[in-house]
């Protein structure tokens, strides 16, 4: 199955970069490394706009966390997300994006991501569900997801959720200024496979902020020292999708969105939006 690629939009004119950052980028460029185009390095004003968007995004997830329960339909989650978002002067980024019909992705058990909220999909005791929220506020995008345990969840599912959250933390810790995107994926893959799980390879994290999906693609597997150079001012998501069984997935042919594990075993995902600073990553969404 081919990789699922994001569509990148044209970005505004590039912002100025500090001389020392420019020199470092040029040093890596001359040695054959992939370096970020200037448009990916956000200004302090842009980072602040993304941070404020992230506050609304976090508020949405907090509301879902306080409301989610057995018997709730995923469509009800969608209504909560829409109402909270618009009441705070923002827009749910998924709504009508590429034809996606809802305001949030709700992915239950074996659904890896892009689950479409539905009145007929009721959360049951023992389910695990990923709620993936993306927000536009004053033209700035933020993106995060959390896993929720519905009632009494079997130990093997709880462990999958816990290890996936650890993968997000470990991937973020591996991201250093003037390191490489591949450092993130290598750390995540090592931790997931050490615990007997697999990493989905057909989907990835991504740049975000001025558009919903920007460069770079942030794979959650791979090798250290590969991929794009990480530079202060870059904003991107890390969102490992970890499967209990095989890493391979399928896309629902009927709706064109819902991604499931091929073997039907559960999957989990956690996501934050981060900005790279001179000291490492800083979380912009929770």
Query: Residue 194 in 3-state DSSP?
Result: helix
CATH number of the domain that residue 98 is part of: 3.90.230.10
Q: What is the mean pLDDT of residues 252-270?
A: 98
d(CA 221, CA 200): 8
Tokens 């900005």 belong to residue: 275
The stretch 156-164 carries a mean pLDDT of 98
Residue with tokens 């050490």: 194
Considering only 9-23, 147-161, 179-193, which range has the smallest mean pLDDT? 9-23
3-state secondary structure 120-142: CCECCCCCEEEEEEEEEECCEEE
Tell me whether residue 11 is in a domain.
Answer: no
pLDDT of residue 286: 83
How confident is the model over 151-169, as a mean pLDDT?
Answer: 98
Domain assignment present for residue 258? The answer is: yes
Sign of CA dihedral 164, 172, 212, 77: positive
Check if the beta carbon of residue 145 is closer than 8 Å to that of residue 112. no
241 in a domain, yes or no?
yes
pLDDT the model gives residue 223:
98
Confidence of residue 19 (pLDDT cuts 50, 70, 90): confident
pLDDT band at 159 (very low <50, low <70, confident <90, very high): very high
Number of separate domains in the chain:
1
The reply to whether 3 falls in a domain is no
Angle between helices 181-194 and 155-174 (to 10 degrees): 150
Which tens digit of pLDDT belongs to each residue from 54-81? Answer: 999 999 999 999 999 999 999 999 999 9
In a domain, 129, yes or no: yes
Q: Is the pLDDT of residue 95 over 60?
A: yes
- Give the range of the structural domain holding residue 199, as residue numbers without chain letter: 19-283
Nearest of 91, 166, 154 to residue 124 by alpha carbon = 154
What gap in Å lies between CA 97 and CA 108, rounded to an integer? 21
At residue 37, does pLDDT exceed 50?
yes
Query: What is the 8-class DSSP label of residue 172?
Result: H
Q: Please check whether residue 268 lies inside any domain of the structure.
A: yes
Asked if 8 and 214 count as a contact pair (C-beta separation under 8 A), the reply is yes
Tens digit of pLDDT for each residue in 188-198? 999 999 999 99
**What distances in angstroms separate CA 121 from CA 109, 179, 245, one per listed residue?**
12, 42, 23
pTM, full prediction: 0.93
Task: Give me the helix-helix angle, 74-87 and 44-67, nearest 10°.
Answer: 140
Mean pLDDT, all residues of the chain? 94
Contacts of 98 (CB under 8 A, 6+ apart): 7
What was the pLDDT predicted at 191?
98
* pLDDT band at residue 11 using 50, 70 and 90 as cut-offs: very low
């Amino acid at each position: 199955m081919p990789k699922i690629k994001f569509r990148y939009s044209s970005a505004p004119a590039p912002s100025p970069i500090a001389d020392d950052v420019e020199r470092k980028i040029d040093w890596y460029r001359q040695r054959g490394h992939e370096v970020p185009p200037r448009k990916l390095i956000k200004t302090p004003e842009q980072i602040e706009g993304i941070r404020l968007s992230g506050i609304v995004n976090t508020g949405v997830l907090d509301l879902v966390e306080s409301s989610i329960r057995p018997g709730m339909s995923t469509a009800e989650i969608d209504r909560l997300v829409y109402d909270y978002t618009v009441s705070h002067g923002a827009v749910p980024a998924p709504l009508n994006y590429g034809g996606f019909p809802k305001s949030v992705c709700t992915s239950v058990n074996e659904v890896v991501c892009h689950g479409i909220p539905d009145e007929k999909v009721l959360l049951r005791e023992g389910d695990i569900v990923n709620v993936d929220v993306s927000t536009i506020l004053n033209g700035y995008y933020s993106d995060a997801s959390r896993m929720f345990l519905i009632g009494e969840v079997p130990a093997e599912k709880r462990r999958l959720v816990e290890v996936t959250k650890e993968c997000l933390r470990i991937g973020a810790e591996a991201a250093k200024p003037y390191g490489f995107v591949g450092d993130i994926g290598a750390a995540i893959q090592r931790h997931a496979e050490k615990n007997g799980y697999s990493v989905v390879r057909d989907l990835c994290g991504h740049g975000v902020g001025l558009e919903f999906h920007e460069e770079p693609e942030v794979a959650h597997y791979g090798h250290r020292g590969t991929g794009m150079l990480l530079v202060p001012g870059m904003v991107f998501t890390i969102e490992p999708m970890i499967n209990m069984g095989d890493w391979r997935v399928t896309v629902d042919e009927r709706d064109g969105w819902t991604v499931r594990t091929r073997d039907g075993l559960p999957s989990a995902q956690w996501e934050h939006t981060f900005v790279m600073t001179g000291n490492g990553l800083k979380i912009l969404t929770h």
